Chains A and B, each alone.
Chain A
Amino acid sequence: MQQTLTLPEGTIASRKADKRRAFFRRKVVPWLFVLPILSINILVVAAPAFSSVYFSMTKWSGIGSAEWIGLANYQALLADPGFHHAFMNNVLWLAMFLTVPIGMALIAASLLAPIRRGAIVFRLSLFIPYVLPSVVSAALWRSLFSPDRGIPALLTDMGIPGFDKAFLGDSRTALPAIAFIDNWHWWGFLMVLFLASMQNIPPDLYESARLDGANRWQEFRDVTLPGIRPTIVFMILMTTIWSFLTFDYIWILTQGGPARATEVLAVLVFKEAFRNFNAGYAAAIGLTMSFFVGCVIAGFQVLRRRGWEI
């Protein structure tokens, strides 16, 4: 009885409380979930990154004090043919990595998805190259690529022409050769990601597609691809970012040579910062790289606003 009597007052109070609780739940709780990792990331990445914005406008050897020179580094950068060349190599690299590994991974994953017998063996074996550290796979492939002792020697002995040369040592083939090695190590990982994503596609979608008389290709195009779209789009985005950062394999195998054929932006950054004591200039290159990547990401964000679920 008492409760019914106090009901009106209570409703007003509880409505306020409800509102507050709803606000807390909708606006504050989501941030509480993000905050821990975000603060660690800011401490490690953002704070030093801001300092590199400053350093990019200085003449700085990388040690000791820096001298303010405004935008001179950026002006020098725009006029530097080495920078343009490296940028184009990154674009080439991006083109190779947006097509070959993603294509291979999609094909393998969709072929593997319906398989039960031996699935584990395939999944494991195709992924294993990804386990190798870059130093190991680079050294391994360097010897495999040797025209005198490696696979090309084997092919030459079999009478197949065109393999009596060192692909890593020719300006025309060095970059694709490194990309080939990096891809050997990389694509299996993509495949596993796609496969895990494909496992989440509800099987009845395949059922109905098949009932509609879809063939393999149609099934792939109409069910698989849309089903794993978030993962594909995400990996395209990450591939883009990583293509601008690519460094390991190139540095280990050619250090940017021969004759700049494999020089990419990250190699430039490393050389300017660690070899030439031009850390200020290196910061400018690095930030310009990030700027390009930022543009790509912004493009994705715009698409997202337009209703693409990515």
Chain B
Amino acid sequence: MRKSLRAIALAGMAALTPLAMLAPATQAQDNVELTMWIESTSGSDVAECVQKNGVEAFNAQGNGITVNTTLQANWWDATRTAIAGGAGPDIVGTPGPSFAMQLALAGQLAPLDDYAKALGWDERFAAGSLDLGMAEGKLYSIPTELETLVLYYNKTLFEQHGWEPPKTLDDLMTLAATIQEAGIIPFSHANAEWRPANEWYVGEMLNHSAGGPQKVYDALVGNVEWTDPDFVAAIDLLNQMQQNGWFMGGLDRYYTTTFPEAGAMFGAGEAAMDIEGTWFLADQEAYFGEEAGNSNEIGWTPMPSVSGEAIFDLGVGSTYSINNNSQHKDEAAKFLDFWFSPENQARLLVACGMVPAAVDLTGQDLTGVNPSLAEILAAMNVAFAEGNYGYTTWTFWPPASETYLIEEIERVWAGEITPEEYLAGHQEKFDAERTEGAVPPIPER
């Protein structure tokens, strides 16, 4: 596999003029050093694991390129400032397509179209997934960590009480009320450490409303207003859940409980359910089972929808690009080619629990992957392949509208504004950013 990849890469190099032109500058025996920054504060040991299993594997190839990674505590601020100041690492990571797009529009990222053609990326990535990295018709970033959200539940607790995982939002509401009556907190939701957690629930409710993801798509491309009754109903439902004290037992607890505290209560059965992303499974062992000092098991089901249909919302955890200031763009492209090889993506999934990019992992050795995660990824991939997916707010929304969704929902919960006013305000922000062309590319449905 490795051999053939290199062969492809070399063949591509010969064919590609910019690569061929730069080739003499970097003699084979000269070791080219590339820099790359990784977020060190993403929790657990993911950053170090990625460094060890991904980057070092590349360096071990001995092809005259060494990638030096640095774990940055203030990763995105540092990256953004450095790039705006004309510096920064050769390989640029961002927290999502809308961020990459801003860098691209400012001319700070190198277009990747030629590399994509030469290295066959179009065939490697699932159809349409590279569209997320486009800006003004060119490819600037490659989305990775394709994630989705599901409804996790404490399986052991559910079995003890004879509760069934809900299919529709109605089921969910009824079940949550029952759980609350049993003296258990329905949802272990909290945002003390990460205020944007708010958008997980807002996004889920919008996509799983009566209109489904289709309506969200229509609103994103501007064919439907955000004040549509389906959306109002969705936000209203979310507000009811919060007003009932279902999230962590009340608004004040929701705002002040940390993730470890919430996770511990979920694992111990003091809380029953959790609407959260695939990233949660990387940490679940700390809350369920031996390590956590209980014998409980975690279960998952697709996030319930009004229709009862299983809907998976697509999220992109991060993107990779090449710095336009880099002196070694070709070498950086080689690294990206390695990085997004099915082999490397599979290794990172197995070793670090990092969810892969939209590359085909069939035939890769996936033993050791958390079974729940494997199931979710499989189900998610089917949904994506069929084009039947929903839209997470941090992937498909322009930045200011996303911030609005995150922050102003708290005013709905505080009773300061109604769901209608909330969505009307969002419409205003969204319109403004749409006119500026700040809405990330929305793949056609």
The reply, when asked whether chain A contacts chain B directly with Cβ atoms under 8 A, is yes
- How far is it, in angstroms, between the C-alpha of A277 and the C-alpha of B94 when the chains are bound? 14
Which residue in B105, B254, B399, B414 is a CB contact (below 8 Å) of A275? B399
CB within 8 Å of B: which A17-70 residues: 61-65
B388 interface residue, CB < 8 Å from A? no
* Contact mask for chain A residues 225-240; partner B; CB cutoff 8 A; 1 contact, 0 none: 0000000000000000
A145 interface residue, CB < 8 Å from B? yes
Contact-residue size bin, chain A (C-beta under 8 Å from the other chain): 20 to 34
A165 interface residue, CB < 8 Å from B? yes
B124 neighbours in A (Cβ, 8 Å): none
B281 neighbours in A (Cβ, 8 Å): none
> What is the number of contacts between chain A and chain B, taking CB atoms within 8 Å?
85
Asked, given contacts A145-B256, A169-B252, A277-B102, whether A257 binds B195 with beta carbons under 8 Å apart, the answer is: yes
B261 neighbours in A (Cβ, 8 Å): 146
- How far is it, in angstroms, between the C-alpha of A167 and the C-alpha of B192 when the chains are bound? 12
Which residue in B77, B102, B107, B410 is a CB contact (below 8 Å) of A259? B410
B50 interface residue, CB < 8 Å from A? no
Which residue in A171, A258, A275 is a CB contact (below 8 Å) of B403? A275
Asked, given contacts A258-B410, A274-B77, A275-B399, whether A142 binds B251 with beta carbons under 8 Å apart, the answer is: no
CB within 8 Å of A: which B248-270 residues: 251-258, 261
- How far is it, in angstroms, between the C-alpha of A257 and the C-alpha of B256 when the chains are bound? 11
Q: Which chain B residue shows the least CB distance to A61? A: B102
Q: Which chain A residue shows the least CB distance to B98? A: A277
Identify whether the interface residues of B are mostly helix, strand, loop, or mixed: helix
CB within 8 Å of B: which A93-146 residues: 142, 145-146
- How far is it, in angstroms, between the C-alpha of A278 and the C-alpha of B413 when the chains are bound? 27
A64 neighbours in B (Cβ, 8 Å): 84, 105-108
B123 interface residue, CB < 8 Å from A? no
Q: Is the CB of B399 within 8 A of A62?
A: no
Q: How far is the CB of B24 from chain A (nearest CB, A)?
A: 32
Q: Is the CB of A258 within 8 A of B84?
A: no
Which residue in A63, A142, A260, A278 is a CB contact (below 8 Å) of B410? A260
B348 interface residue, CB < 8 Å from A? no
- How far is it, in angstroms, between the C-alpha of A257 and the C-alpha of B77 when the chains are bound? 21
Q: How far is the CB of B384 from chain A (nearest CB, A)?
A: 28
A288 interface residue, CB < 8 Å from B? no
Q: How far is the CB of B284 from chain A (nearest CB, A)?
A: 22
A276 interface residue, CB < 8 Å from B? yes
Q: Which chain A residue shows the least CB distance to B265? A: A148
A255 interface residue, CB < 8 Å from B? yes
Which residue in B106, B253, B399 is a CB contact (below 8 Å) of A276? B399
* Contact mask for chain B residues 75-113; partner A; CB cutoff 8 A; 1 contact, 0 none: 011001001100000000000000000110111100000
B407 interface residue, CB < 8 Å from A? yes
Which residue in B252, B403, B413 is a CB contact (below 8 Å) of A170? B252
Q: Is the CB of B253 within 8 A of A166?
A: yes
- How far is it, in angstroms, between the C-alpha of A64 and the C-alpha of B438 when the chains are bound? 15
18 more CB-based (< 8 A) A-B contacts, given A147-B252, A256-B195, A257-B255: A62-B80, A63-B83, A63-B103, A64-B105, A142-B256, A166-B252, A166-B256, A168-B255, A256-B407, A257-B195, A257-B410, A258-B251, A258-B413, A260-B411, A271-B403, A274-B76, A276-B399, A278-B400
A-B contact pairs, 21 of them (CB 8 A): A61-B102, A61-B105, A63-B108, A64-B84, A64-B106, A169-B255, A170-B252, A171-B414, A174-B255, A254-B195, A256-B407, A257-B191, A257-B407, A257-B410, A258-B251, A258-B413, A258-B414, A260-B407, A274-B76, A275-B403, A276-B400
